[in-house]
Amino acid sequence: MAIDFTITSNVLSSGRTTYSAQKNNSQEPKFTIGFRTKYEDNFGLFNTSVTANQVYLPVDYEGEYGFWANFIYPTAMAESGGSFKCMNTYDRAKFTFSFMQYAAHVPNGDFVHFFKKLLALPNAKDYFPKIVLQNDRIFYKNNNGTLSQLENDTSTQTLMDYLNPSLSEVENQELICAARFVHWSVNDLQHRQIQVKTAIDLYKENMKAYHKRFGLDQAPAKVCQLICDIRHQGRGTNDRIANALNTNGNFEKAYQNLCSIGSANYQSRITTVRNTINKLTTQGKFGFKYDASEKDFINN
């Protein structure tokens, strides 16, 4: 049965508008969808709240994913503080969600893979009754049963427009889609597990590609993590990374070089990544090297 919400808004003493939702025909309390924000000439929502039991903790996933659960953690902390309900709808991606901030604007990208996995869950029809998965593509199903494809190998524009019709204002459709994602994440462990699996699958594939580009066999995990984080955020090009790695095998110098990429604009993020790596290293959980033949990290 489709889940519906009543959407309300409130202007805080700070002047900020907050949007909340309550599931219809239930005793569930209201929950925060997000806050209205302006970014350049755009208007949208953001939700960066971090609440107990809704945060990515590597220890919860080490049993299933081993070191990879720790490997993605610095990026998770930099992206969202680990919040499974992190969201924004105000930039060119139009809709971004999850603790790793999967963005809807990339064809065959992380958000598309993530959403497809969600749509395969039994309760997907409760949250998105008009969105269906067929032949590994996302479609909108109208009232007469006609299917319209929302994404393909070259574009996700129609999917973006479904989730967030425009960047000129916060619309009802945008609020409804955001409420669905937040509620689904908070109330369904499988949703959060899919967020994690998507992140680890992504970083595993990225490491294969980055090894081919940069030659990372036996490179320390912290060097590999910085490369993954730089490319995930997009604060540096492959050429800049290659230059940073050109140290005649001195990985400590390479690490310092990588930490300088984007520092003029993103020092806070870089500090978060470094501090998280340092914490994991102190705990004895980051002393690994990448083994290209195994396509995996091995303990020193």
* 224 and 97 inside one domain: no
* 125 and 267 inside one domain: no
* 157 and 227 inside one domain: no
Question: What pLDDT does residue 160 have?
Answer: 98
Question: What pLDDT does residue 186 have?
Answer: 97
Is residue 147 in a domain?
yes
Q: Which amino acid is at 28?
A: E
Q: What is the mean pLDDT of residues 83-107?
A: 98
Least confident interval from 7-16, 168-177, 246-255: 7-16
Q: In this structure, what token pair is assigned to residue 242?
A: 């290659």
Sign of CA pseudo-dihedral 113, 117, 119, 124: negative
- List b or e across 10-31, with b for residues whose CB sees 16 or more CB atoms inside 10 angstroms: eeeeeeeebbbbbbeeeeeeeb
* 185 and 231 inside one domain: no
Q: What is the mean pLDDT of residues 152-176?
A: 98
Q: What are phi and psi of 98, to 5 degrees?
A: 105, 170
What's the predicted TM-score (pTM) here? 0.96
Alpha-carbon distance of 134 to 118, in angstroms, equals: 13
Alpha-carbon distance of 46 to 43, in angstroms, equals: 10
Question: What pLDDT does residue 1 have?
Answer: 75
Question: What pLDDT does residue 270 have?
Answer: 98
* Cα 67 to chain centroid, rounded: 19
The residue assigned the tokens 């889940």 is: 3
* 187 and 231 inside one domain: no
Q: What is the mean pLDDT of residues 31-43?
A: 96
**Number of domains forming the structure of the chain:** 2
* 104 and 225 inside one domain: no
* 122 and 230 inside one domain: no
Q: Is the pLDDT of residue 56 over 80?
A: yes
* 170 and 251 inside one domain: no
Long-range contacts of 256-263 (CB under 8 A, 24+ apart): 258/223, 258/226, 258/227, 258/230, 259/226, 261/230, 261/235, 261/236, 262/230, 262/233, 262/235, 262/236
Q: What is the mean pLDDT of residues 168-179?
A: 97
Q: What is the mean pLDDT of residues 74-92?
A: 98
Cα angle, residue 101 at apex, residues 87 and 238 outer, rounded to 5°: 150
Alpha-carbon distance of 153 to 284, in angstroms, equals: 42
User: CB-based contacts of 187: which residues, under 8 Å, 6+ apart?
Assistant: none
Alpha-carbon Rg of the chain, whole angstroms? 20
User: CB-based contacts of 6: which residues, under 8 Å, 6+ apart?
Assistant: 21, 22, 24
Q: What is the mean pLDDT of residues 268-272?
A: 98
Q: Which domain holds residue 265?
A: 215-299
Alpha-carbon distance of 38 to 285, in angstroms, equals: 40
Cα angle, residue 211 at apex, residues 206 and 213 outer, rounded to 5°: 95
Q: In this structure, what token pair is assigned to residue 26?
A: 């239930």
* Cα 94 to chain centroid, rounded: 14
Computed over every residue of the chain, the mean pLDDT equals 97
Q: Is the pLDDT of residue 300 over 90?
A: no
User: Which of 192, 207, 238 is the C-terminal boundary of a domain?
Assistant: 192
Q: Give percent of the chain above pLDDT 70.
A: 100
Q: What is the mean pLDDT of residues 239-244?
A: 98
Alpha-carbon distance of 175 to 278, in angstroms, equals: 39
* 143 and 176 inside one domain: yes
Mapping DSSP onto H, E and C, the string for 36-97 reads: EEEECCEEEEEECCCCCCCECCHHHCHHHHCCHHHHCHHHHHHHHCCECCCEECCCCCCCEE
Q: Is the pLDDT of residue 152 over 90?
A: yes
pLDDT tens digits for range 140-150: 999 999 999 99
Is residue 65 in a domain?
yes
Q: Is the pLDDT of residue 166 over 90?
A: yes
Q: What is the mean pLDDT of residues 204-216?
A: 98
